[in-house]
Structure 1
């Protein structure tokens, strides 16, 4: 990999992205509700069935993968995966919410954000693979009528799409 795209676990952005924290792991549109609480618009997360302790990059990666019309099983990864500008905006909002007082804002410079984003993209491979394996298990065991086999193909396509994207960066 070229030095402009290399990342090490010791880089601050990557080390931060790999920290284990409580994650939702299924932030897709059906699990995010808009609500009015005392006249203020807020977002509420529901369905914590897959929540647990994971690298924070895996949760963000899963959210970005879900951004690709997974709910309707019509992903267009090229058009729907968050663009670099959308990724930077998301990460900066994410970081500002971790430190709402802005006390540590200087530690999140452009290099930190870039390392975090590259690591999230790598973790998207794990997101696709995990949901692919989940679908295989569900296809055999689930009592719910849903096209798990189609979802296996969609997640496999997403995995190889991201693998190709990451290969372009090397």
Structure 2
């Protein structure tokens, strides 16, 4: 948009000054982020959502990239805000290691382009075995307040699992 020079400014009239200020205020502006995505850690099979929002004139278009390429997959859903100021990138179900990456939100309009990156870390699913479990051996380790490490043995389908595990609601999880 062309901004007038307001040649009549030497004649101090409130109407002319107000008109010039309104025309200057209507100038195009580059994108500026108002909300940026934050790094997340999810579990395989779960969901991750990233939010990105920007202002500018004309209103910036938001695009999501993974490893430099626009996201496109049935598991990747881009949900635009009703007012068009931003969007949510939703990934479901999460897969490890292929979803673990740097994601980028790009906001662009005719005046400029900006981007911000965020990291998604995907942990493998926690496997749990319900039922009876028994301690294999208890090992005391040095640390503040006498930390205790327990080693368990579990027999599942003719396979033994031995290692450091956690107990959740009576089930052995690894």
- The TM-score range, normalised by the shorter chain, is under 0.3
Specify which structure has the higher proportion of strand: 2
Please give the TM-score of this superposition, normalised by the length of structure 2.
Answer: 0.22
Please give the TM-score of this superposition, normalised by the length of structure 1.
Answer: 0.22
Q: Which has the higher contact order (CA 8 A, sep 6+)?
A: 1
Specify which structure has the higher proportion of helix: 1
